Amino acid sequence: MTKNKKPKVFVGMSGGVDSSVAALLLKKQGYDLVGCFIKGWYPGGLPCEWKKDRRDAMRVCAKLGIPFITIDAEKEYKKEVVDYMIREYKAGRTPNPDVMCNRHIKFGIFLKKALKLGADYIATGHYVKVSGSKLQAARDKNKDQSYFLWVLTQKQLKYCLFPVGDFTKPEVRALAKKFGLPTAEKRESMGVCFLGEFDIVDFLKKYIKSKKGKVMRVDGKIIGEHEGVMFYTIGQRHGFSPGGGVPYYIVAKDIKRNILLVSDKAGEKEFYKKEVEIEDVNWISGNPPFQNKIYKARIRYRQPLQSCKIKNSNKIIFTKPQRAVTSGQSLVLYDGQEMLGGGIIK
């Protein structure tokens, strides 16, 4: 970078308020910006709003007076996120596609293409903070997205800016209104990264054949039928009941026999786990955490942090047994505000 040249930042613009304000903040800090809409893969038959989102991103860029480009990540998204998701469900696991979207798309292909096009950094609207080589939870605990970023490495992190990590969601909305951004009132986007809100079971049925099976109580009594164990997840509540309105929770899945094992709330505790093994492990610093120290971890997004220790860098031992430990989900470890990394539950 030559002297006096402003650092060039490619901002991932989703068409939402968070990424819009991320661009606004960077503009005010004097960066040379390029707004980038990342085009994913969108299945036919789903109500997909990507064209509207792209238009909104373009309108924000026009308001800010910055150039706008579209980054095509369709092929990579289909392979690394959608195919991965289908493969995991077929195997009876419950994947987290948002994590893989971050690994392969936002901080994979987008980062790679941005650097190739002359970027010094990339930025996103994630609620998370960077402090040197460390990734930290956002100031807004209700919006913190560090759980989805445990896959990041030092190689990626050195190019990343997260401008909204020090703001609360109401503050972000207020900034968008104050500066007249077109996305100021846009509602929160939910659902799967890029795909948005849709019925996951309906989507999976296009790729995975339904196969009726038995719903069995832990005492061996058959109390219902299901459409295939792949479409269900541990901890899910269902009205499988012979009468009386007792709620049952899925506590185990027998993939080979295509049986869902369910229990009432009291019996569910027998299936809680204190020890959880993880694979595909990534520690953000490059070094595993200390073995004899008490850390905090969560096994699902928004779960309150739980005390634990780590053993052999891939076994987490919780102080209290954990409900609904689900194969395929992410376990993420924290040391105070710092997010250390994590892995996929075996």
Measured CA to CA, the distance from residue 331 to residue 298 in angstroms comes to 6
Domain with CATH 2.30.30.280 in the chain: 209-269
Of how many residues is the chain composed? 346
The tokens 């009941």 sit on which residue?
241
**DSSP designation for 81:** I
Contact between 90 and 230 under an 8 Å Cβ cutoff? The reply is yes
Q: What is the pLDDT of residues 157-215, one digit of tens each?
A: 999 999 999 999 999 999 999 999 999 998 887 666 656 667 788 889 999 999 999 99
pLDDT at 282 over 80: yes
Measured CA to CA, the distance from residue 296 to residue 224 in angstroms comes to 38
Q: What is the pLDDT of residues 309-345, one digit of tens each?
A: 999 989 999 999 999 999 999 999 999 999 999 999 9
Measured CA to CA, the distance from residue 320 to residue 274 in angstroms comes to 6
Q: Give the pair of three-digit tokens for residue 132.
A: 């040197």
Annotation: CATH topology of 8-200 = Rossmann fold (3.40.50)
**Angle subtended by helix axes 169-178 and 17-28, to nearest 10:** 70
Which is catalytic among the residues 36, 61, 101, 160?
Answer: 101
Measured CA to CA, the distance from residue 17 to residue 163 in angstroms comes to 13
**Sequence-distant contacts of 218-222: CB under 8 A, at least 24 apart:** 218/251, 218/261, 218/262, 218/263, 218/267, 218/270
Q: Give the pair of three-digit tokens for residue 291.
A: 């073995």
Q: What is the pLDDT of residues 108-154, one digit of tens each?
A: 999 999 999 999 999 999 999 999 999 999 999 999 999 999 999 99
- Report DSSP letters for 92-111, one per residue: T----HHHHHIIIIIIIIHH
Which is catalytic among the residues 36, 61, 160, 193?
Answer: 193
Query: What pLDDT sits at residue 44?
Result: 74
Annotation: CATH topology of 273-345 = Elongation Factor Tu (Ef-tu); domain 3 (2.40.30)
pLDDT at 218 over 80: yes
Q: Give the pair of three-digit tokens for residue 266.
A: 């009291």
Answer yes or no: 193 catalytic: yes
Measured CA to CA, the distance from residue 126 to residue 136 in angstroms comes to 12
Decide if domain 209-269 falls under CATH 2.30.30.280: yes
Domain with CATH 3.40.50.620 in the chain: 8-200
Q: Is the dihedral of CA 239, 242, 245, 248 positive or negative?
A: negative
User: 39-48, 276-285, 334-343: which has the minimum mean pLDDT?
Assistant: 39-48
**What are the residues whose beta carbons fall under 8 Å from the beta carbon of 286, sequence distance 6 or more?**
153, 154
Q: What is the mean pLDDT of the chain?
A: 93
Query: What pLDDT sits at residue 314?
Result: 94
